[in-house]
């Protein structure tokens, strides 16, 4: 039977449940798959919201994502799907420029939505990866 395991984030700062009262786990493992949610531009040590351009926030999201994946015995190269949410569709090309830096070869499946994000985040990622 497939077991569902909650994996704590590598630092308390990356725990959106604790720092932002999100009703979610950062990482859930089921078999050889990882499901990550709420990856945002926050300081990994303090949980402080990092304000900046969409590009700056996207870089921080990918740095946080890489740390979280490492803790869960995975990596950016093992990402199979990304759901990216951005605050304004006009920033789509900006997101793409940053995204290509972290996912240069054989990028994963991806969907991008423009949505109103909580706490005035400009970008947030939900990711599926393999272990």
Backbone torsions φ then ψ of 84, nearest 5 degrees? -105, 135
Domain around 121: 4-130
Supply the CATH number for residue 67's domain.
Answer: 3.30.1330.40
Looking at the 3D structure of the chain, how many domains does it have? Answer: 1
pLDDT tens digits, one per residue of 39-84 = 999 999 999 999 999 999 999 999 999 999 999 999 999 999 999 9
The residues, ordered by sequence, that sit 6+ positions from 74 with a Cβ below 8 Å of its Cβ are 34, 129, 130, 131
What is the pTM (predicted TM-score) of this model? Answer: 0.95
Contact 84, 111 (CB under 8 A): yes
**Quick one: pLDDT at residue 20?**
85
């Amino acid at each position: 039977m497939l077991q569902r395991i909650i994996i704590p984030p590598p630092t308390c700062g990356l725990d959106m449940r604790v720092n932002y009262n999100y009703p979610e786990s950062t990482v859930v493992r089921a078999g050889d798959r990882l499901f990550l949610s709420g990856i945002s531009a926050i300081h990994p040590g303090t949980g402080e919201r990092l304000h900046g351009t969409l590009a700056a926030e996207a870089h921080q999201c990918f740095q946080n994502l890489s740390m979280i994946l490492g803790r869960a015995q995975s990596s950016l190269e093992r990402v199979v799907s990304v759901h990216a949410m951005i605050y304004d569709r006009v920033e789509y090309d900006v997101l793409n420029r940053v995204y290509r830096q972290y996912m240069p070869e054989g990028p994963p499946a991806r969907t991008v939505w423009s949505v109103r994000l909580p706490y005035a985040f400009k970008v947030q990622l939900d990711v599926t990866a393999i272990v």
